[in-house]
Chain A
C-alpha cells in the first residue's frame, strides 16, 4: 500500500514540477513501446536500458507501459493483420529475406506478425505522442494541477497518515 501511495505521489509531483515535460513525454513513449509490443522481444531490452540510462521519468514509463499493455491486448488482432500486410509487401520481400538470413537481425524476431506489426505501430505513434504528451504536461501544470489539489479526494489522500509518513521520509531523504 505504502509503495503504491509513494508511486502515486511521485507521479503527481513529477507532473507538477519535478520533471521536465520532455522527460515525462520520453517516459510515456518508451513505456508505450514496451507496452504495445510483446514483452519478451529483444528490442524491449534496449528500451529498458534507455529508460534506465536516459533521464526520462521512470514512473511515467511504468504507467504508460501498464496502460498500453491493456491497449495492446485489445489491439493484438490488428497488430497481427498489420504485420501480415508488412511482411507480405511485395517491394519488401528482398529486404525481409536478407534481414531474415542475418542471424543477428533475426534475433529481433521481426518476422513475427505481432512483433513487426506492434513495433511499427509503436514507432509511428511516437511521432504524434511525444509533442502531444509534452503539450499535455504543460497544460496540466497551467490549468489542472491547482484545481486538482483542491479536490476532496486529493485532500483526503494528503490527509492520510501514510501520506504524512511518506512526506516525512521524503524530507529526511532530501
Chain B
C-alpha cells in the first residue's frame, strides 16, 4: 500500500447494497429523509479524516437515537453492507473512513449531555458531544474531565472512547479509558448492550466497556457514555525551560518522580519545533535552544507552590535555562501557547506531514531521539519531534513538500519544457545546442526522480551540499551501467548543470522552474491552497540568460502568472 496524495481526485465510490435505492429508502424511513445524505457533494466531508485518504461513503446516515442505530445495523445485517461509525472525523489514522464502502453513521445529531451528577462525580452523555463542550459543561459545576486530545475542540466523546484518546494531561491523569464507567453500545448485530452501567465502574463479567475503549469502531457503535469526573483542581502552575539538548531535557523526567512530584503534563519540543514556532509567532525563545520543556502541576495551592518550586529546581540542576514559572492563569496560558502554536507552525517545513506516534518506556526516550535523528538522516528525510515525555509518547513528524510527493509523477516534465524552450530560443535566431539541453534535462529528471525534491528546510538543515550530494549519488548509481567513458561524458553534463556554466544549463534551470509553476498552477486550479511560496519572486527571477533566451523565459513566466491571476478571480 503506497501512500500517495490526491488533490482533486478521490477514490471511486465503492458499490455495495448501500447504494441500492430500496436500501436508501429504508434508511430514510429509519432516521428521516433529511438525515440521509447520498449526494456526492454532501457525503464528501465524511470521506476522510486527518490522514487525508479519501474513501467516499455510499451514504451518510445521521441517527438520533440508539434505537435508530440498532435499526440501521439490523438493516446492514439483512442486506450485507459495511457500517463505519464516525465522530468528529479528526483522527490521524483513517479510523473513521469507510475503506470498503457502505455507509458512514455520523453521531453529529446525538450531541446532548444527558446528566451531570456532581454528587457522584459523573456525567452521562451522548457520543456526538465534543470533548471541549463536555469539559466546559462540567467545569461549570466545578468538575473536571481530564482527557484532552489535541483535537479536543472538534473531537467527539464517542470517537475519543473508540480511539482511547490521550492528550497532554495523561502523564498524571491517564487516558480516556480511565474515565469510562459505562457504555451503551449497539453491537454489530443490532443488539443494544449496556455495559458497566451508569454507576461507578460496575463490571459484572467480562469488561466489555474496557474492551470497547480503543476498538476503533469495530466492535459496535457507542450511543451513550457514563464518564467519571474529578473535582476541578484548585490551582495549576506551569514551568517552562530551555535546554541545549533533547537529552538534557529528557533526563529531568525521573527526577520529578524522585522528588515526589507528579506533573500533569511534561511536554517537549525539539529544536526544529522551536524554530518553527519562533519564526511564525515570536515567543522570544532563543534559537540556539535544542529543546523546550513545559511542565504543568496541579493540586491544592500549597501543593502546587511546592511542586512548581521543585520542578524549577530540577530543571535548573539538569541544565535548563530561561526558566519561567507562571504566577497567574494568564501567564500560564501564554506559556502553553507555544505548544498550541506547534501544529500550525511546523507546516512551514513542508506542506505534507506524516506522523509516527510511537511510545517507549520513558527512560529510553533520549535513546529514541538519537536513533530517530540517525534514521532520518540515513533516509534523507526531515523530522520534527515533540511529545509527551511523561509517558514516553513521542510524535515523530516527517515533513515533506508536495513537490516531493509528486516528483516521480512529473518525471520528464522538465525535459519536455526544456525542449519547448530551447526550440523557441533557437527559432529566434540564438545559437543554442538543443541536443545538449535535452540531454542535460533528461539526466536531471532522472536524478531528481530518484531522490525526490528535498524540502528546502531540509536543505537548510543539512546544508546545500546535502541535496547536491544526494542527487550526485543517484546520478552515479544510474550511470553505473553505462560504461566508464559514457559516465565521464554524462558526469560532465551533470556538473555543467549544477554549476550553471553554459547557457544550455541555465535554460534547463529555467525549464525546471517553469515546470514547477505549471504544476502548482494545476493544483491551484483543482482547489489547492497554500502554494504561494512557489510563486514568490518567480517572475522576477534571474536565470542569467541574455537576449532572446531571456525574453522567451520571461514571456512564459508572465503567462503563468496571468493564468494564476485568472484562477484567483
- Answer yes or no: do A and B interact: no
A contact set with B: CB distance below 8 Å: none
B contact set with A: CB distance below 8 Å: none
